[in-house]
Amino acid sequence: MTTITTDPQTASGDAPAARVIPLCSAAQSACATPLSIAENPCFVRSNDWVNAEYKHLVLSAPALALTARSGQFFHLACPASNDDTPYLRRPMSLYCVAPENQRIEFLYKVQGAGTRGLAQLAAGDTLDALGPLGKGFTLPDTTAGGHVLLLARGVGLATLAPLAHAAIAAGARVTAVLSARSPALMMSADYLRDAGANVIIVTDDEQTSDVVQVESLIRRVHAQQPITYASTCGSNRLLSMLQRVASQLGIPGEVALEQHMGCGIGACYACVRPFRKHAGSDELSYRRVCWDGPVFDLQETTSW
Ligand SMILES: Cc1cc2nc3c(=O)[nH]c(=O)nc-3n(C[C@H](O)[C@H](O)[C@H](O)COP(=O)(O)OP(=O)(O)OC[C@H]3O[C@@H](n4cnc5c(N)ncnc54)[C@H](O)[C@@H]3O)c2cc1C
Ligand code: FES
């Protein structure tokens, strides 16, 4: 059983104090660094459409939420709207964190009961964000002076955006290959360019996004400057291709997975999926995406 207490130390800025969730000693000892997870009461600063399908949610958040890293996520208690009453929380990747002004941000596709509820939020409303949750990206030691590839499609753009910032801050060159159905649905390109990434856009409408073309694009990018780490999110086809190319070229990498979730904190096993025991192995191990991930080694991940 988890107990919930109020930690006044986590109060900051405009947001009220987070309710810290103490974890059992087994959970703590399974992790290299101490875990802090809280129900963070956040205030909505803005919640605007960025295109016909996606909204950008900006929250004032308590201090603990501001420790979130790229690849981690929050489990959002989406409000009811019209006939929708989302029972479970919905997982959303961290899109941006700005500790200096107590801000966390999400980019989400409005598609079901949960995100329709999120879409109703307006400035001044409150939202409970459980987190930060999961294991984020781990940039390798070769990042300074290295070349980081981000390969994202759909909601994967939201997940990989903070990784671009982390890699650039660590001294890497970043190439972001962003894939979408149409130019109108492309997001984050300017945001990533402003961060210093070299952005390459491919779309279905322009017939530049099929796997064969993206593979040759990545091989060209690698030929210009060897890629030292590759990450992907948002497409099974791109994941399979990147696994193959990265394996051939000897590039280490990671993938951020999406999976239906219940608790989000490792307790219900709703998010279990098979992984290779290690890269190249035919033996499978079963892991919880919420707790052991959602970021996993590129070559240990099985496609779906
Ligand atoms: C770690 C993590 C991070 C995520 N980050 C983002 C994000 O940054 N932005 C974003 O828009 N979405 C993100 N998602 C996906 C989002 O959580 C789901 O789409 C969520 O179910 C939406 O809730 P809903 O009630 O609106 O839609 P639902 O009614 O739950 O689902 C709508 C449709 O999406 C499908 N679906 C639901 N959940 C998943 C899933 N986990 N994987 C694949 N298909 C699913 C359903 O089968 C259905 O077809 C993330 C998921 C995970 C696990
Ligand atoms: S969602 Fe409950 S264990 Fe992952």
Among 78, 102, 133, the domain boundary falls at: 133
Q: Hey, is 286 helix, strand or coil? A: strand
If you count them, how many residues does the chain have? 304
pLDDT per residue as tens digits for the range 164-209: 999 999 999 999 999 999 998 888 899 999 999 999 999 999 999 9
Q: 262 in ligand 2 pocket by Cβ < 6 Å?
A: yes
Q: Which residue has the higher pLDDT, 133 or 3?
A: 133
Helix (H) or strand (E) holding 220: helix 211-224
Is residue 124 classed as helix, strand or coil in its secondary structure? coil
Q: Does residue 57 lie within any of the structural domains?
A: yes
Over residues 39-55, the mean pLDDT reads 95
The pLDDT, as a whole number, for residue 279 is 86
Instruction: With respect to residue 278, please indicate whether it lies within any of the assigned structural domains.
Output: no
Q: Are residues 94 and 184 in the same domain?
A: no
Separation of CA 257 and ligand 2 centre (Å):
13
Q: What is the pTM of this model?
A: 0.89
Alpha carbon of 260 to ligand 1 centroid (Å): 7
Both 126 and 20 in one domain: the answer is yes
Mutate to test the pocket of ligand 1, among 87, 89, 90 (most ligand atoms within 8 A of CB): 90
Q: What is the pLDDT of residues 103-156, one digit of tens each?
A: 999 999 999 999 999 999 999 999 999 999 999 999 998 889 999 999 999 889
Query: Of 74, 109, 133, at which residue does a domain stop?
Result: 133
Q: Is residue 285 part of a domain?
A: no
Residue with token string 């059983």: 1
Same domain assignment for residues 110 and 41: yes
CATH number at residue 89: 2.40.30.10
For residue 29, pLDDT beyond 80: no
- Assess if residue 288 is contained within a domain: no
Structural domain includes residue 124: yes
Judge contact between 165 and 98, C-beta under 8 A: no
Identify whether residues 102 and 198 lie together within a single domain. Answer: no
Atom of ligand 1 nearest to the CA of 108: 11
CATH assignment at residue 211: 3.40.50.80
Q: Calculate Rg over the CA atoms of the chain.
A: 19
- Going by C-alpha positions, the residue among 223, 219, 217, 213 that lies closest to residue 199 is 217
> Is residue 99 domain-shared with residue 17, that is, in the same domain?
yes
Per the domain annotation, does 303 fall within a domain? no
pLDDT in tens, 214-268: 999 999 999 999 999 999 999 999 999 999 999 999 999 999 999 999 999 999 9
**pLDDT tens readout for residues 74-106:** 999 999 988 788 889 999 999 999 999 999 999
pLDDT higher than threshold 60 for residue 299: yes
Say how many domains are in the chain: 2
Q: Are residues 193 and 162 in the same domain?
A: yes
DSSP-based three-state secondary structure for 93: strand
Are residues 96 and 173 both part of a single domain? no
| Ligand with smallest separation from the Cα of 72 | 1
- Closest-approaching ligand to the CA atom of 265: 2
- 24 & 107 share domain: yes
Once rounded to an integer, what is the mean pLDDT over residues 11-36?
57
For residue 233, how far is its CA from the centre of ligand 1 (angstroms)?
A: 13
Q: Whose CA is nearest to atom 13 of ligand 1?
A: 92
Indicate whether 245 and 183 sit together in one domain: yes
Q: Are residues 205 and 107 in the same domain?
A: no
Q: Ligand 1 pocket: which of 88, 94, 115 to mutate (most atoms <8 Å of CB)? A: 115
List binding-site positions for [2Fe-2S] cluster: 263, 268, 271, 290
- Residue 270 domain-assigned (yes or no): no
145 and 89 together in one domain: no
pLDDT of res. 125: 97
Pocket lined around ligand 1, Cβ cut-off 6 Å: 73, 86, 90-93, 106-109, 111-115, 155, 158-159, 258-261, 294
Which residues form the domain of 99?
A: 5-133
Pocket test for ligand 2, best of 76, 90, 261 (most atoms within 8 A of CB): 261
d(CA 136, CA 124) in angstroms, rounded, equals 29
Give pLDDT, residue 124.
96
Cα 304 from Cα 118, distance rounded (Å): 28
Q: How far is CA 231 from the centre of its chain?
A: 11
The pair of structure tokens assigned to 110 is: 């409005």
